[in-house]
Amino acid sequence: MQGLSQFFLGQTTGLAQGQKLVKEGKTLETDEQNLAELTSQAEGFAEKLLPVLRGPGVVPYKSKTHRVEY
């Protein structure tokens, strides 16, 4: 999951341009805080939403073109 969140930390337009995430009304100032929050969100997605999307085939179980680990 760390790889996925690091990808978003480096690639997400806003974060790459110095914008910060906000959690519970507080701005996350450091890269470490932002990475921890992205990791938490990615883990929640992988545990809760991803299985729901895989069930009807919306998201394939393995991608042949992308090497992102869930």
Read off the pLDDT of residues 21-34 as tens digits, 9 standing for 90 and up: 899 999 999 888 88
pLDDT per position as a tens digit, 34-47: 888 888 888 888 88
Dihedral, CA atoms, 21, 44, 68, 1, nearest 10 degrees? Answer: 80
Strands annotated E in 1-70: 22-23, 26-27
Instruction: Check: CB of residue 9 under 8 Å from CB of residue 2.
Output: no
pLDDT value of residue 23? 93
pTM listed for this prediction: 0.60
